[in-house]
Structure 1
Amino acid sequence: MTIAKTLTIAGSDSGGGAGVQADLKTFQERDTFGMSVITALTAQNTLGVHGVFPQSLEAIEAQIDAVLSDIGADAVKTGMLFSAEIITLVAEKLTQYNVKNVVVDPVMIAKGGAKLLQTEAIEALVTKLLPVATVITPNLPEAATLLGLEEIVTIEQMKNAAIELHKMGPDYVVIKGGHLHEGPAVDLLYDGQDIHELATERIETKHTHGTGCTFAAAIAAELAKGKPINEAVQTAKEFITSAISHSLEIGNGIGPTNHAAYRTLANKKGVL
């Protein structure tokens, strides 16, 4: 049996809602074989991040070499990379193994406000990783930080940001509009020529832990299966919308999204 293979290079979330755990759940739900390289351990739950413990460069390199030299990957998704040294190493390895589909989720801040990327690492992200990315998936604060802007608060500003981010090297840019203050939840896909809007009704819930990780992982899974970028992003949008609309009230803080919701709803409709 042949199956598409997806690799996440990201931090571990002990609470299971984001990071490597969310990525692997998403890969499985989207019918791909998931693998992982852990860049950092976090002590984390629904109330926040209580500790960050980066892995050594030697450990990260060994994990990447072990997976890509033997099993290979049809797509790689990066998440929390934490430092400039880790970012540089990951970019070099993706180039070394000639990975075709690279989805970069530029994780910077956790939902609870904890810093997941060192300030000095932003330059490395821009100069080393974005040029090897197939698609990047920043939210509005992340896009603003990458571009040195104070904030992005309108659709028009999102469109301008997508164009500017594309100049940094990725083939495609997806800017997530979940941080817009009002109106529908609008994401933008820029392919270097046209800007495509993907809008859904905004879901009123605080339980959105892991949305960015899950969305990017879903895109990676679809690309791994050979889907074109427009279809991959559209499916990922539907997947995360289902996950948010059926989010889980787990713990005493910000609960996780429901990775099984898309499949469960499809089964009920007789689609799967």
Structure 2
Amino acid sequence: MSSKPVQTATPPDLARLAQIMARLRDPVDGCPWDLAQSFATIVPYTIEEAYEVAQAVAEADMPGLCDELGDLLLQVVFHARMAEEAGHFALPDVVAAICDKMERRHPHIFGDGTASSDIRTQKHVWETIKAAERAAKPRGGALDGVAAALPALMRAEKLQSRASRTGFDWPDADGPRDKIVEEIAEFASAASHVERVDEGGDLLFAVVNWLRHHQVDPEVALRQANAKFERRFAAMEAKAGDGFAALDLAAKDALWDAAKADERQ
């Protein structure tokens, strides 16, 4: 966002939501819970709502997606209202800033640039523009702006991608694959829990790097693996009934194999 926000008109429906939030935050007649909130206390809800949007998308639940997008939009309005109260910026500034950013990062649509039908080429243009924006700021390091609050797998991939654009990267997937083997050995030889935590992090970081070289999003991959495990485990429980917990490991493994076989049919 620029240092001098540009005020723009707020669409009627969005203005209604902004008015509702202003009413909730009214220092005299507002809602006590809403009044007690701060940027820090609202952030967990913002993150939670973003994940609920992702869940609705994963389930192809369009009515649910509409509802969750509204919840996420409320978070934007909530933060903007608190910022306005503190004299930092207001909701129209947020809207103006993202409009300016989208036009700036799409010169092939809104400027004199030439469009490309190649998505990878266009993504490179996008990242080049973002890099120039970062370089223009007081701190222009290649890794600046990768939010610390991102999920760890997602942040690892973004850090590695940023570093790669400076030339700090393996030329192919063999490097990170060999690094995984190296990190497994170092984890196995760790002499304390502290060392295992450290080496475990290095191992996960190497796995993310290997997946990145294969154009696999680690966050998406692990989310899908979680859903698959949950689905198969529920199938195991359904097959075994109330006696599932009492089964030995061999019996549970057999149920797992059966659940996998059912999915392939």
- TM-score relative to the length of structure 1: 0.24
The TM-score normalised by the length of structure 2 is 0.24
**Higher gyration radius (CA):** 2
